[in-house]
């Protein structure tokens, strides 16, 4: 299965920005779809956005639309999550995942490969 490694998390003040990266070991038909999820303490894992290696632009979930942008660099086998105007409620562990399909209502079970997660903390 594809191996995924997230990076770029850290501590940022309210209103700041971070860019997360997810490096994939390979691109295959079964891992054509890439997604970002996040999980805050005591909450369920939440879909953030997605993109396909062979598709067009990435898309963000309604909860973060307008602040978060998903993009990719096929030459580097890397997807990105650009997070702007961060808020304390964005604090969570952010995960990237790979699967066959991604859509605005994707669930964690739709994805077979997962990264280890990277912590994002927005200070108040």
Question: 36-92, pLDDT tens digit by residue?
Answer: 999 999 999 999 999 999 988 999 999 999 999 999 999 999 999 999 999 999 999
Q: What is residue 56's predicted lDDT score, i.e. its pLDDT? A: 84
Cα separations (Å) of 64 from 4, 37, 72, 88, 120?
Answer: 23, 11, 18, 13, 15
Separation between Cα atoms, residue 47 and residue 60, nearest integer Å: 9
- Contact of 98 with 111, CB cutoff 8 Å: yes
Structure tokens at 62: 């309604």
Q: What is residue 29's predicted lDDT score, i.e. its pLDDT? A: 87
**Mean confidence (pLDDT) of the chain:** 96
Q: Let me know how long the chain is.
A: 124
Q: What is residue 79's predicted lDDT score, i.e. its pLDDT? A: 98
Contacts 24+ apart (CB under 8 A), 59-68: 59/104, 61/104, 62/104, 64/90
Q: In angstroms, what is the C-alpha Rg of the chain?
A: 13
SS3 of residue 72 by DSSP: strand
């Amino acid at each position: 299965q594809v191996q995924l490694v997230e990076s770029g998390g850290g501590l940022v003040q309210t209103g700041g920005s971070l860019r997360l990266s997810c490096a994939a070991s390979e691109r295959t038909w079964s891992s054509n779809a890439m997604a970002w999820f996040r999980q805050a303490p005591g909450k369920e894992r939440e879909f953030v956005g997605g993109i396909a290696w062979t598709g067009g632009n990435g898309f963000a979930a309604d909860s973060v639309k307008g602040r978060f942008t998903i993009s990719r660099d096929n030459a580097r086998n890397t997807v990105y999550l650009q997070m702007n105007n961060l808020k304390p409620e964005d604090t969570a562990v952010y995960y990237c995942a790979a699967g066959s399909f991604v859509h605005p209502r994707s669930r964690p079970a739709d994805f077979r490969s997962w990264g280890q997660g990277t912590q994002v903390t927005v200070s108040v």
